[in-house]
Structure 1
Amino acid sequence: MNRVKSLIRKPVTAAIVGAMAVAIPASLAVPTAPLAAQSGANQLDRATRALRAITTMRADFTQEDRQGNVVSGELTLKNPGKIRFEYSDDVNMLVVSNGSALSIIDYEVNQVERYPIGDSPLGALLDPDRDMRRYGTLQESRAGVVSIMVDDPDRPEFPAITLIFQENGAAPGGLQLVAWVALDSQNQRTTVRLRNHRYGMSVSDSEFRFRDPRRTSRRPG
């Protein structure tokens, strides 16, 4: 269980956003130099529109830390502001946002940690008021791949998150979020890769609530 907690627990801002699976293909590697400002502004707008165009989404995910520990599960997203990371059966934890706060529920020790969305790099995904032009920098735009780094220079305690999109005409806005990479101030990298995207299904708000383990030790079904 320690390997899971190293991925999911504190620091929450580094743990929830992950890195892609074992190797990031060269076409998805995070480069170091941003492109021209005008191109960057256009791609930031495209990425923002693509994220906001998602009404609901489900996708399978794998999450890996720098030591190579991997967990997997299903992500459910509902705009605005709701997300759920349902881990595989051997991981007795849950991560969920109800639109205002991100909760990390540990059913093994009956503990809940809660953070405002704005205190997580997931705010780049979940907060409709997050100004991508203020926080985002285009890192790559070629061969159908768009990479955008989102960070807040006024809050260095929060890691930078790089969102990686691929051109996909079937995805809302024509761009599909395929991965994101987070790097915290201690140089700890966490990576999440998404696959098997599904859009536009009916998702109940009840999926973004959880049974409080401080009142029962049973994991929700």
Structure 2
Amino acid sequence: MTRRLAIALAAAPLALLVPATAPVTAQQASGSLAQAQAHLRGVNTMTANFTQTDRAGKVLTGVLTLKKPGKIRFQYEKSVPILIVSNGKTLTFIDYSVRQVQPWPIGDSPLSVLLDPNKDMSKVAKVVPSGDPRILLVEASDPKRPEYGRITLAFARNAQAPGGLMLQGWVALDSQNNRTTIRLTNQKFNVPVNDRTFRYNDPRPQGARG
């Protein structure tokens, strides 16, 4: 994954990522990780407003749409000529200002932990201290593929949400330590989402398309 896409996906940390006050016991971590997995498996679709902050402090907003398995769309505000979308297999970064299209396998992105309902989080993720019992932080990375980066998911405990958790956002860190924060609001789970949402208009000349 290139630095440009990693920055787009992955910086001040989330306000929820407060300093730890006590270590997480093995029993607490196991139960909390299972709860996070239950939340992710219980979410077939999600829509939310997002605010993205990069390491330079630049803030962009837009709408996130997710549908499992593997589909996601970051629709940025109208003034931003970029789009990030996955059709279930390929994650694509489109820059309409320069007519550039860059695809990657979705499995090469840290976002795969959000999009694969069959992924066993115990193999790639761990609970990290948040310092606030209302907040659950789960850090995921593939030790065999460090170039994929690392993602820390932030959940708020909410009995009305799938698995008793509400995904608040995440912090993504690429292999060059470029950090990007995504904050979510107005989350809606398991609402109807049309597969056409994950298509895009290819800006490249006809002969230049792969």
User: Residue 120 and residue 104 in structure 1: after superposition, are their counterparts in 2 closer, same or farther (change >3 A)?
Assistant: same
Report the counterpart of residue 200 of structure 2 in structure 1: 210
> What is the aligned counterpart of 1:132 among 121, 125, 136?
121
Paired letter, 2:73: R
User: Residue 66 and residue 32 in structure 1: after superposition, are their counterparts in 2 closer, same or farther (change >3 A)?
Assistant: farther
Task: State the Cα distance separating 1:67 from its structure 2 match.
Answer: 1.0
Report the counterpart of residue 2 of structure 2 in structure 1: 10
Counterpart secondary structure, 2:27? helix
Worse-superposed segment, 69-78 or 37-46: 37-46
Report the counterpart of residue 219 of structure 1 in structure 2: none
Matched, 1:193 2:183: yes
TM-score, normalised to structure 2's length?
0.89
Report the counterpart of residue 143 of structure 1 in structure 2: 133
Paired letter, 1:78: K
- Report the Cα distance in structure 2 between the residues aligned to 1:31 and 1:13, rounded to whole angstroms: 30
Instruction: Name stretches of at least 5 consecutive residues in structure 1 with no aligned partner.
Output: 1-8, 217-221
User: Residue 12 and residue 127 in structure 1: after superposition, are their counterparts in 2 closer, same or farther (change >3 A)?
Assistant: farther
- Report the Cα distance in structure 2 between the residues aligned to 1:208 and 1:97, rounded to whole angstroms: 6
Paired letter, 2:115: L
- Report the Cα distance in structure 1 between the residues aligned to 2:21 and 2:200, rounded to whole angstroms: 40
- Report the Cα distance in structure 2 between the residues aligned to 1:129 and 1:169, rounded to whole angstroms: 23
- Report the Cα distance in structure 2 between the residues aligned to 1:151 and 1:129, rounded to whole angstroms: 16
Matched, 1:181 2:160: no
- Checking the alignment, whether the CA contact within 8 Å between 1:30 and 1:147 is kept in structure 2 is no
Paired letter, 1:60: N
Task: State the Cα distance separating 1:17 from its structure 2 match.
Answer: 3.1
Matched, 1:70 2:59: yes
Supply the RMSD in Å over aligned alpha carbons: 2.2
TM-score, normalised to structure 1's length?
0.84
Task: State the Cα distance separating 1:13 from its structure 2 match.
Answer: 5.9
Paired letter, 1:71: L
- Checking the alignment, whether the CA contact within 8 Å between 1:56 and 1:79 is kept in structure 2 is yes
User: Residue 84 and residue 51 in structure 1: after superposition, are their counterparts in 2 closer, same or farther (change >3 A)?
Assistant: same
Residues 75-90 of structure 1: pairs in structure 2 closer than 5 A? 75-90=64-79
